[in-house]
Amino acid sequence: MSIAFLDPGNIEADLQSGAAADYKLFWVLLWSTVLGLLVQRLAARIGTVTGQHLAEVCYSEYRPLPRTFLWLMMEVAIIGSDMQEVIGTAIAIFLLSNRTIPLWKGVLITIFDTFTFVFLDSYGLRKLELFFAFLIATMAFTFGFEFFLSRPEFGEIMEGIFVPMCSGCGKTELMQAIGIVGSCIMPHNLYLHSGLVKTRQVDRTRDESISEANFYYFIESGLALFVSFIINVFVMSVFAKGLYAKTNEDVVSYVKSINAIISFNLQNNTDAVDVDIYSGGAFLGCQFGMAALYIWAVGILAAGQSSTMCGCYSGQFTMEGMLNLKWRRWRRVLFTRSLALLPTLYVASFSTLDAFSGMNDMLNALMSLQLPFAVLPAIAFSSNTRIMGPFANGITNKIIAVLIFCLIVAINSAFVFAFVSTLSGVPSIVSVTIYGCIYIPVTLYLLLHTIAALTSTDSRLNSSQVW
């Protein structure tokens, strides 16, 4: 579950936030992780109490048409997440090969590494979890190495984490803060978490056993997200120390002064430095030597690889649950990865490195936009006494859930206004219009169902009351 907080999209949001806002947004990362934990708790409780994962409850509670569109929206989120994994892995291979393996070949290589995970999965979920733990440990070591190498100001880090202020911040810092929140709470991760808790044995005939399971799952999730928070802090700190208040011109001049052999692809202007996964690694290589670049690339590779199987499991849960359609796992992997490869391979082949790495920013925005399709069902079902019985949300949990959703709406509104203002060309406008025609009705349906669940005292509540 914690893997979704450490995918390449998160890493890019971290390094950009550090470069743009110094240590001022660390508290946003902290509270985004806390919000993510609270939302994950809702999903885990649904799986623990009902013995069904979130998508299976969607199948029994929602009508066929909105449920089908809900599945499509979740597939968009899962494919978008898989694209981030492809991008991160391809850039890592590009760096590790000393730029001899082009990006488009790195994209194609990701086809084979995906089936490696399917092979590992055949040995059982626990073995796969151990491998994921190894990948997380790899990220902790590699990004921790960069952290201690750069020696950021520990006092400023603590102040940034525990003092919720951002003095002198403007629109740039605001958008970075929004990006942090959007990258931390991943929609498909709720479906994944609710499914993973089903693999644990719980005596659902005894309320005491369910309460105990809920408690320990919450502790387990908290510890996992604490580790992910520390790793994200490592990344933000490194680039807050090294690139804050720097311009593209400053970085280009520095690279020339040391006769670096690493290309940056930065324009020589006075704009704030435009950093991404590739240029972040290149900067570390220039400042601390090539070993730092390779260690960074290994961390990015681990981030991309560890997220791959999460998308596979999430996709399988949503497809089997919402459509009652069972596929072999290798078919599910091939389906998701094939759809993710098409746009990434095109950009890798015919566009620039900056555009390829910059896709992560767009995909982070997409993840944020898809959040209602996971958060609203989680709130509705966990508040429904017919589904949850005595474990339904109380008034405090309902208020917290509503506040979280309001925050998501505010974040999405900011993203939409910022994105729409940049639209140009008929194809872009038509695509956004089609997307909106599906997005708005499905969101309204889920919202009405959630409002009914939050306000009704009738345990017989079902979707017929809101459709």
Tens of pLDDT, residue by residue over 132-180, are 888 889 999 999 999 999 999 899 999 999 998 888 888 788 878 887 8
Q: How confident is the model at residue 464 (pLDDT cuts 50, 70, 90)?
A: very low
Q: What share of the chain in percent tops pLDDT 90?
A: 38
pLDDT at 466: 40
pLDDT at 265: 64
pLDDT at 121: 67
Mean pLDDT across the stretch 119-143? 80
Residue 315 C-beta-side C-alpha neighbours within 13 Å: 27
- 447 versus 128: the higher-pLDDT residue is 447
pLDDT at 263: 63
Q: How confident is the model at residue 17 (pLDDT cuts 50, 70, 90)?
A: very high
Domains (range + CATH), the chain: 2-355 (1.20.1740)
What SS3 class is residue 272? strand
| Unique residue bearing structure tokens 């520390």 | 230
Alpha-carbon distance of 403 to 409, in angstroms, equals 10
**pLDDT (tens digit, 9 = 90+) per residue, 231-270?**
999 999 999 998 998 888 888 787 777 756 666 666 677 7
pLDDT at 346: 86
Could you give the angle at which helices 54-61 and 372-382 cross, rounded to 10 degrees? Answer: 80
467 pLDDT higher than 50:
no
Contact 86, 107 (CB under 8 A): yes
Alpha-carbon distance of 174 to 163, in angstroms, equals 16
**pLDDT (tens digit, 9 = 90+) per residue, 52-98?**
999 999 999 999 999 999 999 999 988 888 888 889 999 999 999 98
Q: Is the pTM of this model over 0.95?
A: no
- 58 versus 408: the higher-pLDDT residue is 58
pLDDT at 461: 45
Alpha-helix runs per DSSP H in 166-289: 171-184, 187-196, 207-243, 248-257, 277-288
What SS3 class is residue 247? strand
Alpha-carbon distance of 441 to 434, in angstroms, equals 12
Q: How confident is the model at residue 217 (pLDDT cuts 50, 70, 90)?
A: very high
Alpha-helix runs per DSSP H in 371-420: 372-382, 385-388, 395-420
pLDDT at 264: 62
Residue type, 399: I
Would you tell me how many other CB atoms lie within 10 Å of the CB of residue 202? 18
Alpha-carbon distance of 233 to 144, in angstroms, equals 9
368, two tokens: 């944020």
pLDDT at 183: 77
Q: Nearest 5°: phi and psi at 272?
A: -60, 140
**pLDDT (tens digit, 9 = 90+) per residue, 314-344?**
888 898 899 888 777 777 777 887 888 888 8
- Cβ neighbors of 383 (< 8 A, separation 6 or more) are 392, 393, 397, 398, 401, 450, 453, 454
Mean pLDDT of the chain: 85
**pLDDT (tens digit, 9 = 90+) per residue, 273-290?**
888 898 888 888 888 888
Would you tell me how many other CB atoms lie within 10 Å of the CB of residue 323? 15
Alpha-carbon distance of 122 to 161, in angstroms, equals 41
Structural Rg of the chain based on CA atoms: 22
pLDDT at 223: 93
Q: How confident is the model at residue 380 (pLDDT cuts 50, 70, 90)?
A: very high
Paired strand residues for 272:
247
Best CA proximity match to 318, nearest among 195, 447, 439, 182: 195
